[in-house]
Structure 1
């Protein structure tokens, strides 16, 4: 389910001068019940912001009538708190840092998977609306529900839809808890495995544990795409989490 306020769906403005890319992004997001607007240049973007309340902008960096970086700086200078994801074919670290310093909330390099963009949008909308996520909803619950799975928080084991039990190692359980506490949020390796971050084999260790956990989750239909890799960032649990 998309992250929406209690009274309305989030409004997202997609800005790209390439009509095919613009329509592709809008088409993907339309499946998530967001209110969608689009613009081909900065002029149309500014007019749209005057006419509509926008929660988030997916902003191409290079536009025919100006630079997305300048627009981002302009909006922040005016005090706008609209969330901005910059999307560009320019993938250098300097561009990324500059975009974030000028007020972008996130930065995505073309080509990208539509699912990755969706995860980042959900993440930003949740952050902007002050949702404290799974941690605030867990309370004294026994089970965490995500995708087709239940996680028994007392006996530390996975339960499949047919009630089959899947045992987890202590490391796998801790790793999965990190994910369910922060669903749809990209988590870096240091967050997922803080006790191993100073070791030489750190990257290999976390990747191996993720692989083992994925194998167990993928043993039922709908479990193979729960944990996604976000290039250069880390991993994300692409699922809502509920408790009972």
Structure 2
């Protein structure tokens, strides 16, 4: 039985309507010393989230009572920072991009190697929890270029008050830029959990690219994050707090 009193133990819930797949994933995760939960549908997942804190969700896309994409969008709209790995039989690039755009932190297509899922879970949970930058006056918004970043709800607000949701990875990345505006940040600084492989790991480049696309959705936002060849990336804008 899991020792819920252990503050270092991460809580992971596996959500899949296929009992065999769900059981296989849970069995694989037991060796990692996680506090393990499981659910067969969205209703059970929501109840579990109400009952106790959860650090990471392994979320099947197709569930009997709803779509995992909708649940992902719902959690991010509430400002939840729970890590989410989507696992699905869908394999198209459009599905993967949609899942990431709606707030998933990672995406796996069935069938997959259990060890690959273990590595991805371990990497996500190894990331330090990034809280929003906290200036002395406890301001809620960080303003840069044409955008405002809601530090509580973890979403971008355009000049016309249009809301743009951010995945946990995108929020962490943008928060890091906001902490040091107009400073060139090396790739290993932006993705510290992959410091050893940052020189050839393209994950950070993909994350920066997705963030740039969202920032480009407002006039004047396309050139906020610049590439400094051989050095890293920089948020080319002053930041103020409101």
CA distances 1:50-89 after superposition (whole Å, capped 9, x unpaired): 0010000000000000000000000000111100000000
Specify the alignment match of 1:85 in structure 2.
Answer: 85
Q: TM-score by structure 2 length?
A: 0.53
- Which residue matches 1:191? 201
Which residue does the alignment assign to 1:76? 76
TM-score, normalization by structure 1? 0.52
Alpha-carbon contact 2:127-2:193 (below 8 Å) kept? no
**In structure 2, what is the Cα distance between the partners aligned to 1:113 and 1:186?**
23
Flag structure 1 segments of 5+ consecutive residues without an equivalent. 1-5, 131-177, 193-244
- What is the alpha-carbon distance in structure 1 between the residues aligned to residue 50 and residue 44 of structure 2? 10
Structure 2 residues not aligned, in runs of 5+ = 1-5, 131-187, 203-242
Superposed CA RMSD in Å reads 2.5
The alignment partner of 1:191 has SS state of coil
Larger radius of gyration: 1
Residue matched to 2:24? 24
**C-alpha displacement of 1:32:** 1.1
How many residues are paired up?
138
Is contact 1:119–1:184 with CA below 8 Å preserved after alignment? no
On the 8 A contact 1:11/1:35 being kept in 2, the answer is yes
CA distance in 1, matches of 2:55, 2:117: 15
| Matched residue, 1:13 | 13
* 1:101 corresponds to 2:101: yes
- 1:143-162 deviations in Å (ceiling 9; x for gaps): xxxxxxxxxxxxxxxxxxxx
Residue 127 of structure 1, CA deviation: 1.6
Deviation, structure 1 residue 7: 2.5
Match in the other structure for 2:136: none
